[in-house]
Amino acid sequence: MKKRICLLVIILLITFGYLIGHYFVGYALRRGNDANPKAIPAACAAIHDTSAQLPPRPGAESEVWSLISDDGITLRGTHFSPPQPSHRWVILVHGYGRDQRFVWDLASAYLKQGFEVFTPDMRGAGESDGKYLTMGVKESADVRAWARQIAVRDSGASIVLHGVSMGAATVMLAAADSPPQVAALIEDCGYTSAYEMFSAQLKQLFGLPAFPIMPCVNAVSRIETGAWLSDAAPINRMPRLPTLFIHGDADKLAPVGMAYDLYTVSEATVKEILIVPGVGHADAKTDAQELYYSTVFTFLESLVVDIGK
């Protein structure tokens, strides 16, 4: 009898853990709802500034690209061409719950510097397929696939990866095992670990402790998305590529301490850090434009690879 009771208790605990994990994975990582199959995850709507203005589309010649991801998802993005063809490329990676349109201000700035620009819709966003976000785990493989496609189209390509928020985490993970054509990395307000960031948001939004909820979320994420949430941890896989770290010291989503932690752990051959006073999450490129872009392009010019010349 005792064994049966113990078994029943274990089954109930596993079932309860799965239901809890399933709810929060759906809340934070699943795209779409009954009214809109392309709706951003519910958690995105809870934390994003709904008054944020979309930057204008770059006034440059463009074409839509597509590819099939390693796990069979159709991905799409836009290639913007500068007035003169170049071997200098940048892949601009948007953040959590966003799409490529939210980095078109960055695209315009890079185009003025003569870069070929590619802005992908990451999986589960914009015009790309996919039901789940994985906070950089599978997205990083997608970025590497886009970089390989650029290398096929331009054998002389020198590629910069520039990501914002989840996009920054994505490019850090992508750069850790990137094609040789990838020359430099710009990470803007990335996180050390999605698990750590979600744990903090769980307390802030719901008043709930990380344990035992986050272990359940992590396990269900692996079941439903195919990726452990805990693997979205750039701090455990820092690339050696030249890296510029950018962060606002008023960031409430990914605290500025994460930037210092990433910078400290980084063994990049060249690394710099820009902390922008009084700026919140992902706002440096709009609230401190002159400082932001002068730092980015000065950093790229200083590299051994022929970028910015």
Confidence of residue 308 (pLDDT cuts 50, 70, 90): very low
Strand partners, 118: 79, 91
Q: Is the pLDDT of residue 154 over 70?
A: yes
**What does the alpha-carbon distance between residue 68 and residue 145 come to, in Å, rounded to a whole number?**
9
The sign of the dihedral angle between the CA atoms of 249, 253, 257, 262 is negative
189-246: per-residue pLDDT in tens? 999 999 999 999 888 878 889 989 999 999 999 999 999 999 999 999 999 999 999 9
What mean pLDDT comes out for the span 57-69?
96
Structure tokens at 127: 């015009």
Interatomic CA distance for residues 108 and 110, integer angstroms: 6
The secondary structure of residue 136, as a DSSP letter, is T
pLDDT one-digit tens code per residue, 33-47: 888 989 999 888 777
Please, what's the largest Cα pairwise distance for the chain? 79
Residue 38 is classified by DSSP as T
Q: How many CB atoms lie within 10 A of CB 263?
A: 19
Domains of the chain, by residue range, sit at: 1-30+194-230, 58-192+232-301
Structure tokens at 90: 């940048």
Q: What is the CATH number of domain 58-192+232-301?
A: 3.40.50.1820
If we measure between CA atoms, which residue out of 92, 147, 88 comes closest to residue 116?
88
What pLDDT is recorded for position 61? 96
Predicted pLDDT at 91: 98
119 phi/psi in degrees, rounded to 5:
-120, 100
Q: How many CB atoms lie within 10 A of CB 202?
A: 18
Angle in degrees, CA 168, 246, 309, rounded to 5: 90
Pairing of strands 116-121, 88-93: parallel
pLDDT of residue 307: 42
DSSP state of 132: B
pLDDT, residue 135, reads 97
Chain center to CA of 66 = 19
φ, ψ dihedrals at 162, nearest 5°: -130, 115
Provide the percentage of residues in the chain whose pLDDT is more than 90: 80
State the Cα–Cα distance between residues 147 and 237, nearest whole angstrom: 19
Provide the 10 A C-beta neighbour count for residue 126: 20
Whether pLDDT at 104 is above 60: yes
